[in-house]
Structure 1
């Protein structure tokens, strides 16, 4: 008997449930994603610029080291030629 009372009360509760549209909530939610996406894109672009500058600085240092090594090699080759000619 108790189970019948629970079933009948849940049936009446189900009939009083109000349905509503979620399209507005979905529209607002998708609109807020656009803002987040643009923020993430801007943040990603700033990170890319920072990384690019760091890589350019590293490349510049490496090129300077390469030039120093080339000069060292030239000097050593000159010394080698001088020792061979003696």
Structure 2
């Protein structure tokens, strides 16, 4: 889990060591014997606990089973998000 200021994330994500890490770890993460969840969402100024993160990922995250996409992500909607929708 990482927590980011949305303005700083693209600069970090798209440059230098993170780009290298993404290329390197992609083949490790998507092996046949792994299960992975990915999710990006706005936490509305709150940081979830580890158990909350686990539950949110399992419920809403993009899920890869053995390197194959098994489910697309559907980020959670929080009260602030619901009102603005």
TM-score of the alignment, normalized to the shorter chain, above 0.5: no
> Shorter chain as normaliser: what TM range?
under 0.3
**Larger relative contact order (C-alpha < 8 A, sep ≥ 6)?**
2
- Going by fraction, where is strand more abundant, 1 or 2? 2
TM-score when normalising by structure 2: 0.21
Structure of higher CA gyration radius = 1
- Going by fraction, where is helix more abundant, 1 or 2? 1
